[in-house]
């Protein structure tokens, strides 16, 4: 079915992005974080269990194992993760610079809400949800997901319900 609200592209399509499914507004950009940095992020995450928390949800950061079962580590604001935070920040900046060439509504200022690493073990999940809501989340315009490792499957994809899209994790 054709998208009734096609996105007007005022400039050339993104150079390093690929739209996963036409009209979905879900894009992939391969090889964004160098493999050695991905390995370092995983190593450091595993070496610091005291900094990890059970996956929290929503603005109040509540726990609900029926919605989200992960281990999370917020890297932003931690002195010992400052280098990793900067890697994420620079990767987003490079992506935004390219997106701004294609989508003019991404030209305004953005509020960076920080970064976290989430680990999913087999059988763990984040149930269907919308990355938005009231208060600060209501202004969310862009969500970025980096995969730090490959997940060969079966299973393990990030699913986008309404776009009918599954993305296989590849770093």
pLDDT for the residue 131: 67
Closest to 88 (Cα-Cα) out of 101, 74, 100, 98: 74
Q: If phi over 0 gives left and psi between -120 and 50 gives alpha, with beta otherwise, what is residue 123?
A: left
pLDDT for the residue 11: 47
Count of beta carbons in the 10 Å neighbourhood of residue 75: 22
- Asked if 48 and 72 touch (Cβ cutoff 8 Å), the reply is no
Closest to 141 (Cα-Cα) out of 167, 103, 169, 170: 103
Domain limits of the chain? Answer: 18-158
In angstroms, the CA 115 to CA 98 distance is: 20
- pLDDT, averaged per 10 consecutive residues of the chain (171 residues), comes to 46 76 92 94 98 81 77 96 96 88 78 90 79 61 90 89 93 89
Q: Please tell me the pTM assigned to this model.
A: 0.82
pLDDT for the residue 116: 94
pLDDT for the residue 51: 97
């Amino acid at each position: 079915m054709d998208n009734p609200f096609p996105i007007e592209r005022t400039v050339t399509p993104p150079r390093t992005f690929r739209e996963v499914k036409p009209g979905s507004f879900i894009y992939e950009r391969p090889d964004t974080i160098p493999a050695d940095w991905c390995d370092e992020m995983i190593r450091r995450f595993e070496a610091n269990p005291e900094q990890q928390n059970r996956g929290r949800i929503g603005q109040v950061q509540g726990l609900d194992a029926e919605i989200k079962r992960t281990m999370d580590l917020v890297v932003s604001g931690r002195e010992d993760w400052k280098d990793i935070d900067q890697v994420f920040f620079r990767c987003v900046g490079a992506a935004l610079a390219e997106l701004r060439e294609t989508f003019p509504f991404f030209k305004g200022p953005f509020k960076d809400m920080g970064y976290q690493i989430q680990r999913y073990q087999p059988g763990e999940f984040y149930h269907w949800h919308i990355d938005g809501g009231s208060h600060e989340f209501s202004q969310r315009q862009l969500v970025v997901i980096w995969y730090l490792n490959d997940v060969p499957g079966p299973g393990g994809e990030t699913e986008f319900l309404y776009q009918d899209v599954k993305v296989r994790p590849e770093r």
